[in-house]
Structure 1
Amino acid sequence: MSGVLEWTVTGKATDYGQNVTLFCHVPNCCPKDAGWDRWTPVQRTLFIDVKTGRPNKKYDGKAEKDGYTLIIQNLTKDDLNVSYSCLYGVTLGQSKFLLKEDVFTDKSDNKPTGRFSGIQITGIIIGVVVPLAVAVVVFVILYKKKRKKRSEADDPLLETEEPSSIEYIEGDDATLTCQVGPKNLHVDWLKDGKAVKLNRNCTTFRQGTEHNLIIKNVKPDDSGEYHVQVGNFSRKIQLKIIVYFLKDPSDIKCKEGEDAIFTCNVMVDSPSLLLLKDGNDITRNTNILEMPPDGTQRSFKLINTKQVDKGEYCMKVGKSSRKFKLNFKGT
């Protein structure tokens, strides 16, 4: 594919809570994988391929004749001032900020006619007759807002950058973000009510008032309820890990010379399943037969097993993998 991939906003909104549509122009779309990434600045894959990806409460997409779309549902401030890029096959498009002025359109395109409608006349009368009542209402609203600001003035947690419920695919790196002010306050991260244990796979990163919890190569047990806590104040972020494997492969025992069948169950719209041995991809080896899928079940047949075939194998989907062993009976 020639040229540079670039998206445009084709479906705008008049207010938050509505849907916004981004369109990535690709002629004769889409025989290749058509995906979307989000950068905060950490890369997060929203869709590997919109044709096969499963929509969720936040994102949807579809392929069209001359390109494909990303539908950002229930628009919030957290969806703006971050970068999005489209990925077609192996071509990564330009990472571009989604700005407020790109998203919103006027709530009304009505042009003045030079004549007052009945509703306008009624509004004028009300504005003349009851100005004192309006002033009282405004005063009450401003007073309540002022009291609310006072009660929240001591809350150092400004906002969470991600939605309160986020999803990552098993094997991805997950980033949980919040803004804390002032800069020198101590921040604690908790999971299911317990302090998060930091190690080389789970680290924290701070830049100014922005605090991040980064979980590398996420696994199913990383799902749960996280809290960022500063003193007596906290914010909740629910993390959900999408798992491709519905049923893991089991260890196999057979007689030497027999065929061995390796089986697992994966989500229907998962990426291609690979078979590895000793870290090497053997999916296309001459003695390996990939059997037709049966619902969510996927199987490989190893033909006419030999002693060299004994050992540890791995089935891999995307960045997710499951290990199992092949042994011979009597050994």
Structure 2
Amino acid sequence: MSKVKAAPPPGCNLNINDPQVQEAAIRIQASYRGHRSRKELREKGPPKFLQELKDVVLVEGSAAKLECRVSAFPDPFIVWSKDGKELKDGPKYCYVFEDPDVVALVVRDGVLADLGRYTVTIKNTFGQTSGSACIIVEVPAKVTKGPDNVKAKKGTTVVLKAEISGEPPPDVGWLKDGEDIEEDERVFYDVGDTDTILTIKNARPTDAGKYEVFVENNLGTDQSFARVDIQ
């Protein structure tokens, strides 16, 4: 016994060839397109940050990554700069774009000169915005050039100079024959940004010996030696 299909309820017949039905479909499609266009218009506008840049620490010889999250439609044009100078995408500085909204800069082969303020500028046809953060460079303490051996005559002034580096700036000390030097008006040392100088006035035979310059910060230590002979 075959089943008989039930007739649709009154008013539910739909003839897709009916001009009124076609007109209604066109109105529905137009309404949807209008809604979609209004939604897109709400999303369009100048770029804005969803997450700001933050300061990062870069250890000498390694890489650091500055990143932020942005909202921008249409897609924005990105420029990174350091202390006001534009940085080109290449071996040293790598522009990074990670879906859906991350913009980043990778700084490779870190050196002390990378310390500074970095700015990202994001712009599209509706406007632009920018944000900044600092890269803080950390460099292990190092004696980059040790003092030279010295031969001097009794009563003269002896000067030992060493070139140093480090960030944070290292603590510096001088030793003679393994003992800390007690500074006075005759024997003293100065510490500059890139060097340290030990001065021995009116040199005596007892000043002869092995001198050591020692540097230290939270990333490392280093030292160098020199021999002083008094004749």
* Fold in common (TM above 0.5): no
TM-score (norm 1): 0.31
Could you say which structure has the greater relative contact order, defined with CA pairs below 8 angstroms and 6 or more residues apart?
Answer: 2
- Where is the strand percentage greater, Structure 1 or Structure 2? 2
TM-score (norm 2): 0.41
